[in-house]
Amino acid sequence: MTSRFKHFLSFVVFLLVGVYSYAQLGFCEGNSGVPIFTENFGSGTTTGPPLALGTTTYTYASEAPNDGFYTVSSTTNWYGWHNTPDHTPNDTNGKCLVVNADYTAGEFFRTSITGLCENTSYEFSAWLINLLPGNNPFCDNGGIPINVKFEIWDASDSNLLASGDTGAIQGTINPVWEKYGLVFQTLPSQGEVILKMINNAPGGCGNDLAIDDIEFKSCGDFVVIEDENLQNEIVECAGQVVQSQVFTAVPDYSVFDSHAYQWQKSTNNGPWQDIPGAVEESYTTPIIFEPTSFRVKFAQDELNLGNSYCNSISEEFVVDFMSIPDAPQSDGDVSFCGDDFGEISVSVPDDVIVNWYDSLSDGELLLENSTTFYPESEGVYYAEAVSEMGGCKSQFRTEIEVNLLQAPVVEDEVQWFCEGEETTLYANVIDTYYLWNTGETVSQITVSTPGIYTVLVTKGNGCSEVKTIELIQIDSPIIESIAVDGNDIMVIMGNEGDFEYSLNGIDYQQSPLFNNASGGLYSITVRETNGCGAAVIDYLHFVIPKFFTPNGDGYNDTFDLAGIEYYRSYEVSIFDRFGRLLVSSVKGPFSWDGTFNGSALPSSDYWYSIRIDDQSYFGHFSLKR
């Protein structure tokens, strides 16, 4: 055998020993019986009494226990330990066993457990706590952890039945009780065992522990009760009955190879009673009229079945009868306005659901499991209460009436008004109440400011609608300037709008451009087409013709300077191309027919000199025959 293989084998043996040691530390995974042994160390405000002779090799202390000492106390407030109450639930001034480990590891507690049954599995359990806080500043590395071995021996103290170690239990910041257990099986003709607790670590700075609630109870298979539908519960409604059922005990065979049974029942949470003759794996019930629970006591050996210290108790099969729920509480009939439907609702207890129908009985199911419903039309709707357990329905359905009320009929509007004027806004609905966003409460209001106006219109039935009016101001026309291009006149506006244009205030056109306008004084008028004001400006349109045709046809026969007469002062002179003065005029209207000294002048270009007020104009024009 090689050295490497020897080391490998030693390692495997080490692992197996370790696994075996810890593998037996655990709890019963099946059903248990009643406890046959309990030790909670009593209660009281004083320490003690000391443990019975032979229970421990440690020395009793009536006050703080030193290393190698123990006490029984309701307080642990020594040496900076956790000051914790005992573990026993609902225990006033409950005591626990407090152990300050000896410097030498070894046994510190033993007791005999009697009354056991042969060939029976049992569970031992106890609660432990490390009393030294994990954040204590006085011990290195948080102090020596506690480490306890549990051993179960036969009555002769020569045959070890089971053992297991807790392993190192480090200190914690806050006090924490932990439960540890061990499962073992008694031998034939064995009715007594010895429990030993051994401290695996030496005392010193740490390894300070407390123990409480030591307990022994039988351990059997995990057994459930099932009906023919593989269920373990039947819930029926009050007033009904549950017909005869066949229940079967189903073990998992984790502990026993065979089973002996005794069926039991409890009526209305009363005491458990054996059912005479019900000792088989299955049991057929009579008709059940009231809440009843069923279970089986079971053991591997029929001789142990009648001993509560030797048998186990299965899970329960419960037959329950649910009370019929009251009809839902209505939250009130509801009226909606127009076609604006909302929700209707009812109230029920937390363990009840609501279904909605369209008739008082039977009818179409409209909605399940909701205390609220959104109808789509007026009428009567019905809410039924159903218990979550058992599906028991209320005897009556709750009626909720939905009414559809007429809402005010309003139409939004867009209105215009002229700048600088007032206008009246109308709600246009009668027999109602009004509330404008201006604060007024009448059917019509007079305003002079553009914007959005709303009025809440409410009928006598309480239905309301909002009417919105957009009020737009029409601005009066503003003439910015007049532009001239030859004979053409263009009106330049200072704002936009629907305008019409006129040179005389009588004849209007859509265009601001007047083509080939004769010279003269004009009263240019721009008016808004909806009648929202007009703008007027006087404009002197002075035009120097570029030619004239004195041919006697009545059209353009004279050279006229129309409008010149409106200036305060002016002087006009006409010359031929040789500079000869042909005609001149000062003030008054000016018109020349193309003659000189009574004779018609020939077609040619002629020159003008015009001085108006402080301005002078020079140029030429054509005479065409």
pLDDT higher than threshold 80 for residue 65: yes
Percent of residues, the chain, with pLDDT higher than 90: 76
pLDDT higher than threshold 90 for residue 490: yes
CATH topology of domain 329-405: Immunoglobulin-like (2.60.40)
**Cα–Cα dist 516/519, whole Å:** 9
Confidence of residue 38 (pLDDT cuts 50, 70, 90): very high
**Cα–Cα dist 436/468, whole Å:** 10
Pairing mode, strands 334-337 and 398-405: parallel
Nearest one of 46, 50, 45 to 70, comparing CA atoms: 50
CATH superfamily of 17-219: Galactose-binding domain-like (2.60.120.260)
Q: What is the CATH number of domain 223-322?
A: 2.60.40.10
Question: What would the mean pLDDT of 296-300 be, rounded to a whole number?
Answer: 92
Name residue 72's beta-bridge partners: 97
Nearest one of 31, 229, 50, 17 to 122, comparing CA atoms: 31
Question: What would the mean pLDDT of 260-286 be, rounded to a whole number?
Answer: 96
pLDDT digits (tens, 9 = 90+) for 188-203: 888 999 999 999 988 8
CATH topology of domain 413-474: Immunoglobulin-like (2.60.40)
| DSSP line for 447-497 | E-S-EEEEEEEEETTS-EEEEEEEEEEEPPP-EEEEEEETTEEEEEESS-S
Name residue 25's beta-bridge partners: 182
Confidence of residue 156 (pLDDT cuts 50, 70, 90): very high
Contacts of 9 (CB under 8 A, 6+ apart): none
Contacts of 182 (CB under 8 A, 6+ apart): 24, 25, 26, 123, 124, 125, 150, 152, 162, 163, 164
pLDDT digits (tens, 9 = 90+) for 343-373: 999 999 999 999 999 999 999 999 999 999 9
pTM of the full structure:
0.55
Domain extent listing, the chain: 17-219, 223-322, 329-405, 413-474, 479-541, 547-623
pLDDT higher than threshold 60 for residue 560: yes
Residue 436 — φ and ψ, nearest 5°?
Answer: -85, 160
**Cα–Cα dist 403/375, whole Å:** 11
Question: What would the mean pLDDT of 204-222 be, rounded to a whole number?
Answer: 94
Instruction: Return the DSSP state at 328.
Output: P
pLDDT digits (tens, 9 = 90+) for 524-544: 999 999 999 999 999 988 888
Give, in words, the CATH class of 547-623: mainly beta
Average pLDDT, the chain: 91
Confidence of residue 5 (pLDDT cuts 50, 70, 90): very low
Domain pair 329-405 / 413-474, same fold: yes
Residue 246 — φ and ψ, nearest 5°?
Answer: -110, 115
Residue showing tokens 């309990």: 38
Instruction: Please give the single-letter amino acid code of residue 528.
Output: E
pLDDT of residue 612: 87
**Cα–Cα dist 171/210, whole Å:** 12
pLDDT higher than threshold 60 for residue 264: yes
pLDDT of residue 512: 96
Radius of gyration of the chain (CA): 58
3-state secondary structure of 544: coil
- Residues belonging to the chain: 625
What is the token pair recorded at 343? 């929700």
Residue 496 — φ and ψ, nearest 5°?
Answer: -105, 155
* Range with the poorest average pLDDT among 210-214, 248-252, 460-464, 504-508: 460-464
Indicate the burial class of 255 (C-beta count within 10 angstroms; 0-12, 13-18, 19 or more).
buried
What is the token pair recorded at 515? 């083509």
Neighbours of 223 (CB within 10 A): 23
Peptide bond into 271 cis (omega under 30): no
pLDDT of residue 2: 32
pLDDT of residue 48: 94
Quick check: 83 and 132 in contact, CB under 8 A? no
